Amino acid sequence: MNTCDLIIKKRNGGELTEREYAYLVNGYVKGAIPDYQMSAFLMSVYFTGMTETETLFLTNEMINSGDTLDLRGISGIKADKHSTGGVGDKTSLALCPMLASVGIKMAKMSGRGLGHTGGTIDKLESFPGLTTSIDGERFIRQANEVGFVIAGQTAHLVPADKKLYALRDVTGTVDIMPLIVSSIMSKKLASGADIIILDVKTGSGAFMKKEEDSFELARQMVALGKNAGKKTVAVVSDMDEPLGFAVGNALEVKEAIDVLRGESAGKLRELCLTLGSCVLQEAGFAENEAGARRTLEKSITDGSALRKLAEFVKAQGGDERAVYDVSMLPAAPLQTVLPSPKSGYIGKIRADGVGRACIVLGGGRETKDSAIDLSVGVVLNKKVGDYVNQGESLAVVHASDASRAEEAKKLLLGCYDICDAAPKSRPFIRGIVR
Active-site annotation, residues: 82, 161, 168, 183, 187
372 three-class SS: coil
HSE at residue 249, side-chain half, CA atoms within 13 A, is 30
Reported residue count of the chain is 434
The residue among 119, 145, 151 whose CA lies nearest residue 133 is: 151
**DSSP letters for 257-308:** HHHHHT---SHHHHHHHHHHHHHHHHHTS-SSHHHHHHHHHHHHHTSHHHHH
How far apart CA 149 and CA 134 sit, in angstroms, is: 9
SS3 content of the chain, % helix, strand, coil (to 5): 45, 15, 35
How far apart CA 249 and CA 118 sit, in angstroms, is: 8
How far apart CA 338 and CA 54 sit, in angstroms, is: 51
Angle at 77 between CA 273 and CA 143, to 5 degrees: 90
- How far CA 414 is from CA of 47, 140, 349, 378, 418, in Å, comes to 36, 47, 9, 14, 11
